[in-house]
Structure 1
């Protein structure tokens, strides 16, 4: 039922945002170097994948924070499985479910209701899925770092909410990063959050092709490796703590 409700919500918000973007692009044609059809496609890409990359939080990090708070994390650390890879495996499965369960119907609804600049080439869709997979890993890596902060904080809800707001703004979910002015736009496009939605959307819209597409994958992979390594380092520091809250 939650999935059905989510599909309905994403579709409704997609329609609302579509008319907002239509009004904006009517006043500023080619804003962010998008035409109207590309801008509208961007809206529906966002509504289709934001749960896949979990931009609004509320995923595994809440469970991990609670296990740290209660001390149950000690049990997890004794298991014959790497803690970070355990949660990453679960996150990949969750992302795949949401891509199919909450992504397909909103995209189809948007394509039926509006003129979207969606590609007919299967290769472009495959390239998009690869970029989206990198975005899922980067999203996980950031949220894993956020969850580990619970080893030092009495309550992790504040930092998770703040992280969600940052992700929403700097991923392009609220507005394409291409329309951000000056230095703000330049900085936003090189931050890791851009790999979650802006980059996959631009790949699907054909803005990265050939050698540029490979460089884009390299950019995403670099952030994924860096953030996963940071998570591994912080995990090592955190699990050496003598006292775990609640346990």
Structure 2
């Protein structure tokens, strides 16, 4: 199937950037230590903040670092290439391919995410587990649910970034919108602080937004904050946002490609 070939090709493509991967592992690990010690001070002052104990909070830190590149928590993730192709007019070539544009880029993003999860996710998490008392599950089934949740989170992340990229059909420069989207993802995914810590109605609203499905839900699955019915509801939450955003992306794509205006040539 062509989508599998595209995903495999994307995996191999990102695997060639070995120096960038090593640099990313180093950066993620350093920031993991900085945030971890910040969380230790915070949870020493406020034990069980947001319903987490300190070990769960530290696990959240290293999960965020492990998923930073895979789930594109700071935007980018290859979709900036699509923005550039739209701006330059190369998207016209993509539209002539005998493959759906959205599914092509989704397959490529899944291949990219798989490589980043292995290349930039495992090492920081392993370092964190060696230095800090993390609340990692011993049950292989929990790890399986976590990987499924991560996959659904990547789909939600892609769907949001794809919508931002499609805005370039109408904008001469979509970098500003991409920056705003990246900041929203960092804040509302739980990258800055777990959404469970947010107070009152604001916290409840934040956990209903699609960004929560990118990091907060997978992290909750890993630390054991979701099990049974809450695990099922979390996965359904991610799947529902993924389907809804992909459908919206399909509508926007259809509107954009009815009359393609090439800005760059």
Correspondence for 2:177 among 148, 159, 176: 159
Separation in structure 2 between the aligned mates of residue 243 and residue 177 of structure 1, nearest angstrom: 41
Is 1:149 aligned to 2:167, yes or no?
yes
Q: In structure 1, which of residues 36, 57, 70 is the aligned counterpart of residue 54 of structure 2?
A: 36
2:255 to 229, 237, 242: 237
Alignment of 1:213 onto 2:231: yes
Structure-2 separation of matches of 1:92 and 1:74: 23
Give 4+ residue runs of structure 1 displaced > 3 Å after superposition.
none
Alpha-carbon separation, structure 1, partners of 2:260 and 2:28: 45
Post-superposition Cα deviations, 1:103-152, rounded to whole Å, max 9, x if no partner, equal 11100100000111111111111110010100000000000000000001
Shift of 1:242: 4.8
Shift of the alpha carbon at 1:207?
1.5
Corresponding residue number in structure 2 for 1:179: 197
Using the TM superposition, give the Cα deviation of residue 245 of structure 1 relative to its aligned residue in structure 2, in angstroms.
1.6
State TM-score, norm by structure 2. 0.92
Instruction: Please point out which of 53, 56, 76 is paired with 1:58.
Output: 76
Quick check: 1:87 aligned with 2:105?
yes
Q: Hey, what's the Cα distance between the residues in 2 that align with 1:219 and 1:188?
A: 13
Of 204-213 and 175-184, deviating more is 204-213
CA drift at 1:15: 0.6
Q: Look up the match of 2:210.
A: 192
TM-score of the two chains, using structure 1 as the length reference: 0.98
- 2:157 aligned residue: 139
* Residue 213 of structure 1: how far off its partner (Å): 1.4
Determine the structure 2 residue equivalent to 1:169. 187
Aligned length: 247
Match of 2:119 among 98, 101, 107: 101
